[in-house]
Amino acid sequence: AQKITQTQPGMFVQEKEAVTLDCTYDTSDQSYGLFWYKQPSSGEMIFLIYQGSYDEQNATEGRYSLNFQKARKSANLVISASQLGDSAMYFCAMRGPWNNNDMRFGAGTRLTVKP
Amino acid sequence: NAGVTQTPKFRVLKTGQSMTLLCAQDMNHEYMYWYRQDPGMGLRLIHYSVGEGTTAKGEVPDGYNVSRLKKQNFLLGLESAAPSQTSVYFCASSYTARGGNTIYFGEGSWLTVV
C-alpha cells in the first residue's frame, strides 16, 4: 500500500527566505506521480507542482520546486522567496500506476511566514 | 469559470439523519472523486467514479453511498449520519488517471453531525 509521510506538523519561515517542506513516500510501484497542494485558511485545495517517477529533471513552477530523490523516496517542496501569502497548509500526495485512481495524501505541514 | 462546484457548503445534521452532497463539474471530466479531510490528517478517498454509471470504493467507504447517473454529477450520500462523519468533504475531478496536474478540487463542504 502507498503511504505518504510529512514529519513537520508546523514550520516557520521569515519573509523572503526559502523553506523546504519534507515529504517521504513508500510504494512498491515503479510508476507513480507526486503532487503538492496548498490549502489556505479558506479551505480550497490549490495544485502547486507535480513530479512523475520517470521524470529525470526536478519539477519547477515559479517559486516552487520539487526536490525529487527517488532512491531515498523523498519529494520535498522548496518555496523560494517566501511571501506572507504562502502561509497555509501544504499537502504532499502520491498517485499510483495509471490504472489506480487512489491518490494518498500526507497529514500536511502548516507553514507560517513571518514578516 | 465554475470548475468543480459542491453543494451545500455547510450543513449540520442530527445523528441518524440522511443527506446528499452534490458535486458538479463542467469540464467534461471522466473521473470524479469524493474525499474527506479530518483534523491533522490529509484527504482520504471515500469513493470514486471512472465514468458515468460506474462507482468504486476508496480507502474509507463505510457509511457512504455514491451515484454517477450523469457524467457531470457525482453524489455522495450519508444514509444514517454519525458523529464520526463530521468532516470536511472535497469533491474532485480529472479527465484521465494519467498525468500530473489534472485533478481539480471543489471548495469543500463542512459537515457537522451532532
pLDDT digits (tens, 9 = 90+) for A5-27: 999 999 999 999 999 999 999 98
Averaged pLDDT, A23-52: 90
∠ CA A63-A64-A66 to the nearest 5 degrees?
150
Grid cell, residue B56, equals 468504486
Residues of B whose CB is below 8 A from A98:
97-98
Per-residue pLDDT reduced to its tens digit, B20-63: 999 999 999 888 999 999 987 789 999 999 899 999 998 899 99
Residues of A whose CB is below 8 A from B100:
33, 35, 50-52
- Confidence band of A104 (pLDDT split at 50, 70, 90): confident
**CA distance from start to end of chain A:** 41
Q: Which residue of B has its CA nearest to A51?
A: B100
CA B24 to chain centre: 10
User: Is the CB of residue B112 less than 8 Å from the CB of residue B12?
Assistant: yes
The lowest-confidence range among A24-38, A73-87, B65-79, B100-114 is B100-114
Query: Facing residues of A56 across strands?
Result: none
Per-residue pLDDT reduced to its tens digit, B90-99: 999 987 655 5
- Confidence band of B2 (pLDDT split at 50, 70, 90): low
CB-count burial class (<10 Å; 0-12, 13-18, 19+) for A75: buried
